[in-house]
Amino acid sequence: MVSVLTAGHVNWDVTLRLDRLPTPDAEAAIRSQRQSGGGSAANVAATLAGLDVETGLIGSVGDDDNGLLARRELEEAGVSLDGVRIVEGTPTAVKYLLVDDDGEVAVLGNDGINEAVAPDDLDERRIRTADHVHLTGQRPDTAAAIARIASGAGVTVSFDPGRRLGDRDYGEALATSDVVFANDREAEAMLEDEYPGSDFSDRIVVVKCGGDGAMVHTPNGSYAHPGFDVDPVDTAGSGDAFAAGFIAIMLADGRRNGADGGRESAPGFDVERALEYANACGALTAAQEGARSTPTRAAIETFLADHF
């Protein structure tokens, strides 16, 4: 049985380091190129595994070389792939990450087959037996179905809808989630009646602010952490690493304190510690090249010790 089940995209990433992000009618020089696994759900799963959390994944890849490489990398990280569909005759989604000298990122890509998992494909037993389910951007009906199954079994749910929040109706999954992750633009969209009927005052909302740290709003109060001063090399995947760090502390503290970390048990874990740990995970990832530069628990502990 896994402790955390993540659900969403499994991609293959091609990272191009540029002297600058290109503008219309301009040209940028490629400084280097590398390839690795990507996709928010896969990134969170790999980071959680690096933090010694037993993690499984729900997603889909093609039966091509990129899909094989993505699965092999996740297996080597220690992620259970029992919930990953391999679809014949369709390519794995590939994302091209353009990274400038300041670590800023732009993304190009195709969806490939990273949304082949439909509600009827879900293994409900696997969802019900997890300690926590983390949703990322994916088909809205699949996200909603996973959230319903988990919530009905008393399993806590977190959701980080990502860049496509404004393009898709994630209202049901958001309404069911105990913890919602968003950057400042996404949080503003959610709170400005973009999702009518979703009241976020009764749950934990984590607002990621990049290099400026993050804020957490809970039913019992709000908390902020300024982040850590690092030289960003590549910010791709840093938000996923942040979410993994927050979830890892939420679950660990919740077990010790006999609480599940959900919206009714915010005092069951140390929110400020989770925020600090999450920022450390994000900072370490941003200071390295590639969305899958997964920090380990030992590396995070050393980083935090060096900064205090």
Please answer whether residues 133 and 146 qualify as being in contact, where contact means their C-beta atoms are separated by less than 8 angstroms: yes
Task: Give the largest CA-CA distance in the chain.
Answer: 59
Question: Does the pLDDT value for residue 188 go beyond 80?
Answer: no
C-alpha span between 277 and 248 (Å, rounded): 9
| Catalytic residue chosen out of the listed positions 64, 131, 178, 240 | 240
Domain tally, the chain: 1
The range of the structural domain enclosing residue 237 comes to 4-306
Residues in the chain: 308
Phi/psi of residue 81, each to 5°? -110, 20
Q: Which regions of the chain does DSSP assign to beta strands (E)?
A: 4-7, 11-18, 30-38, 55-62, 80-87, 94-99, 105-109, 132-136, 156-160, 179-183, 204-208, 214-218, 221-225
What is residue 41's predicted lDDT score, i.e. its pLDDT? Answer: 96
What is residue 292's predicted lDDT score, i.e. its pLDDT? Answer: 60
Q: Between helices 271-286 and 297-306, what is the axis angle to 10°?
A: 100
- For 192-202, how does the pLDDT look when each residue is reduced to its tens digit (9 = 90+)? 655 544 567 78
CATH number where 85 lies? 3.40.1190.20
Question: pLDDT over 70 for what percent of the chain?
Answer: 90
Residue 246 pLDDT class (50, 70, 90 cuts): very high
Written as one string, the DSSP assignment of 35-91 is: EEEE-HHHHHHHHHHHTT--EEEEEEEESSHHHHHHHHHHHHHT-EEEEEEEETTSP
Residue 240 annotated to the active site: yes
What is the pLDDT averaged over residues 59-78?
Answer: 95
Tokens 């530069």 -> residue: 293
**What pTM was computed for the model?**
0.90
More confident residue, 220 or 94: 94
- For 16-45, how does the pLDDT look when each residue is reduced to its tens digit (9 = 90+)? 989 999 888 889 999 989 899 999 999 999
C-alpha span between 249 and 198 (Å, rounded): 26
- For 151-183, how does the pLDDT look when each residue is reduced to its tens digit (9 = 90+)? 999 999 999 998 777 778 888 999 999 999 988
What is residue 306's predicted lDDT score, i.e. its pLDDT? Answer: 85
- For 247-286, how does the pLDDT look when each residue is reduced to its tens digit (9 = 90+)? 999 999 876 555 555 554 444 689 999 999 999 999 998 8
220, with CB counted inside 10 A (0-12, 13-18, 19+), is exposed
Three-state DSSP at 217 gives strand
C-alpha span between 291 and 100 (Å, rounded): 14
What is residue 105's predicted lDDT score, i.e. its pLDDT? Answer: 82
